[in-house]
Amino acid sequence: MSAVVEARGAALEAIERHVPQLVSDRVASRITNGDATLWGEAAESEASVRLGWTQAVSVSRPLVDEISELRAQLHERGVDRIVLCGMGGSSLAPEVITRTSGVPLVVLDSTDPDQVASAVDQHIERTAVVVSSKSGSTVETDSQKRAFETAFRASGIDPTERIIIVTDPGSPLHQASDEAGYRVFTADPTVGGRYSALTAFGLVPSGLAGVDLDALLDEADAASITLAVDVDENPGLRLGAAIAGTEPRRDKLVIVADGTHIVGLGDWVEQLVAESTGKEGTGVLPVVAGVDAPELSSGAADVQVLRHVASRAETREVRDNEIEVSGSLGALLMTWEYATAVAGRLLGINPFDQPDVESAKIAARGLLDHRPEPVAPAVIDGGIAVTGPDALVAGTTSVADAVARLRDAVPADGYIAVQAYLDRLAHPELEVIRHALAEQSGRPVTFGWGPRFLHSTGQYHKGGPAHGVFLQIVGTPASDREIEGRPFTFGELIAAQAAGDARVLADHGRPVLTLTVADDAIAALIAAIV
């Protein structure tokens, strides 16, 4: 079954304006056939090696039996807890696949020492770990792998019997893992990380956790037939036009899910769309929100609301100026990938590169190599240290005052990004800040957990329109954790990642307010903002 895309208002006008031309230009069939010329001459080199996702279903079919056999072998040895170490597309796709299927998967996509400890220090005797990294050099994933190797050895377990590697063929991780004797699954190198949901990156951890991979691939396969055809009803063309073709531009895409059939899809869409389109001063900013989000009734001219619904009920009318998308998970994964590629064509950008992602990584590595003296806070309010540019913190006397200044700095067409460098499993209550700031400011607010958002919306923050303001919430872990073979700890790594990103954002002229908070002051922080 293919996805269904319906719209009213500005989104419908965008569909009617752009889809006939997209059909005439044979965009859908050309994407399917790997035509790298669709996004202009500058993008052709990158696009020529990044369109393998259109054939992911057929390429991935042989993996299903191999994954099933490995799952059975692990179960025979009493191993029934699967942990995934990965960042960005390597973790977000398996997370939505397993949550929607209702099977347990522990996702470690953080360098917070407390979150690392909760994944590594529990049930190690029945744990297997999937380490996923396309490049094979991701510092977070390498550090997580080292933590598990240490834990397995301490428990008398050979890490090569419990750690499974997913990476691109020929990557540094592939070569080192082969030499060490690890089980390795190689993924299609012509698929970028954020388009890799239906490759080994999405399927290996999901299948080992217990997902019915054949059913997922069947859903995607059925949808692919419709997505490849140049017709007005093509849901990939319709969705791409709706999110990127409105005039004037509605470039804040508020994503709401009914929560009844697909769990967590918004987070996966967020990284796919933000990282693919947020560059060259343009882009679509996804805002993952709840059904009561202030953005839904703000009436802002630059906000486009999109709802994921279980089915398209003929008796229910799509709300004005909204988009409704329905379909199975496999169908939606394929549809969003096509739609994002179409959006890139309409925006005139290359949807397959991420030119600004590396800058934060370089800054973090620089801070680890040459650690500067810590910046003195402008004020300490109830155990919360406030730092930032003078415009935000000079003369401030409280957290509430500093946050109010940041809120007042939002341009009329801008947004607020909350970035929480804490254990996301231990502090879900922090997400109430998103709702409060949206209500207070009347502007869209995103919420990202650091450092995982660096592999997602981090590209948009630096490469997209320069109208964002940023609230960093940096934790003080209960205890730190060494990383075997590295001259830094997890606590030092996540601190450098936060400071490095703040530095790069500031260099791009983006206002950044940093609040450093201990666990026992989080309630006070929420009270100061909410």
DSSP symbols for 486-500: SSSBHHHHHHHHHHH
Say whether both 366 and 502 belong to one domain. yes
Asked which of 168, 183, 212 is the last residue of a domain, the reply is 212
Domain boundary among 177, 212, 247: 212
Q: Do 10 and 74 fall within a single domain?
A: no
Indicate if 294 and 423 belong to the same structural domain: no
Residues 198 and 252 in one domain: no
φ, ψ at 480 (rounded to 5°):
-95, 175
For residue 369, what are the contacts with CB-CB under 8 A and spacing of at least 6? none
Which position has the token pair 């522990």? 106
Residue 334 maps to a domain? yes
Is there a domain that residue 37 lies in? no
Q: Are 47 and 30 in contact (CB under 8 A)?
A: no
pLDDT at 191 (0 to 100): 97
DSSP 159: G
- 158 has a pLDDT exceeding 60: yes
Q: Is residue 312 predicted with pLDDT exceeding 90?
A: no
Q: Burial letters for 147-183: b for 16+ Cβ neighbours within 10 Å, e otherwise?
A: bbbbbbeeeebebeebbbbbbbeebebbeebeeeebb
Average pLDDT over residues 410-425: 97
Q: What is the mean predicted confidence (pLDDT) over 397-401?
A: 96
Note whether residue 385 is domain-resident.
Answer: yes
pLDDT computed for residue 477 by the predictor: 86
Residues 19 and 98 in one domain: no
Tell me the residue range of the domain where 123 lies: 59-212
Distance CA 505, CA 471 (A): 11
- pLDDT surpassing 70 at residue 470: yes
Q: What is the pLDDT of residues 424-446, one digit of tens each?
A: 999 999 999 999 999 999 999 99
Residue 373: the pLDDT is: 82
- What percentage of the chain has pLDDT greater than the value 90? 92
Q: Say if 352 falls within a structural domain.
A: no
Task: Please give the average per-residue pLDDT across 59-81, as a whole number.
Answer: 97
Strand-pair partners of 447? 418
Report residue 129 CA to chain centroid gap. 21
Q: pLDDT-derived band of residue 93, with 50, 70 and 90 as boundaries?
A: very high
For 180-225, the pLDDT digits (tens) are 999 999 999 999 999 999 999 999 999 999 999 999 999 999 999 9
At 303, which CATH number? Answer: 3.40.50.10490
Confidence grade of residue 259 (pLDDT, cut at 50, 70, 90): low
Residue 40 counted as domain residue:
no
pLDDT score recorded for residue 22:
98
Tokens in use for 239? Answer: 């969705």
Q: Are residues 268 and 170 in the same domain?
A: no
From residue 303, give the alpha-carbon distance in Å to each of 237, 255, 294, 414, 443: 20, 10, 11, 11, 9
Q: How many CB atoms lie within 10 A of CB 77?
A: 11
Q: Does residue 491 form part of some domain?
A: yes
Give every CB contact of residue 27 below 8 A, 6+ residues apart in sequence: 38, 230, 237, 342, 345
Q: With a cut of 80, say whether residue 504 has pLDDT above it.
A: yes
Least confident of 39-48, 265-274, 358-367, 455-464: 358-367
**pLDDT tens digits, one per residue of 141-150:** 999 999 999 9
Say whether both 305 and 442 belong to one domain. Answer: no
> How much is the pLDDT for 439?
97
Model confidence at 27, in pLDDT bands (50, 70, 90)? Answer: very high
Instruction: Enter the DSSP assignment of 246.
Output: -
pLDDT for 339-363, tens place per residue? 999 999 999 999 999 999 889 889 9
**Which of helix, strand or coil describes residue 515?**
strand
Residues 191 and 274 both lie in one domain = no
Residue 391 domain flag: yes
pLDDT greater than 60 at residue 495: yes
Domain shared by 512 and 364, yes or no: yes
Cα distances (angstroms) measured from residue 524 to each of 200, 384, 422: 43, 9, 16
Kindly state the average pLDDT of the residues 496-517. Answer: 96
Per the structure, the count of domains in the chain is 3
Query: Are residues 245 and 115 part of one domain?
Result: no
* Structure confidence at residue 258 (pLDDT): 75
Report the pLDDT value the prediction gives residue 137, as an integer from 0 to 100: 87
Of 460, 435, 434, the residue nearest 284 (C-alpha): 460
Beta bridge partners of 384: 381, 517
Helix, strand, coil share (%) of the chain residues, nearest 5: 50, 15, 35
Residue 239 forms part of a structural domain: yes
Cα torsion through 7, 13, 14, 16, rounded to 10? 90
pLDDT in tens, 231-242: 999 999 999 999
Question: In 49-162, where do the E strands start and end?
Answer: 81-85, 106-108, 127-133
Please give the C-alpha separations between residue 453 and each of 79, 290, 347, 512, in angstroms, as whole numbers: 31, 19, 23, 16
**Residues contacting residue 68 through CB under 8 Å, at least 6 positions apart:** 207, 213
Pick from 186, 212, 238: which residue ends a domain?
212
Shared domain for 72 and 203, answered yes or no, is yes
Query: For residue range 282-301, what is the model confidence (pLDDT) as tens digits?
Result: 999 999 999 999 999 999 99
315 and 418 share a domain? Answer: no
Q: Could you tell me which of 80, 110, 78 has the C-alpha nearest to residue 95?
A: 110
Tell me the average pLDDT of the chain: 95
Residue 313 has pLDDT above 70, yes or no: no
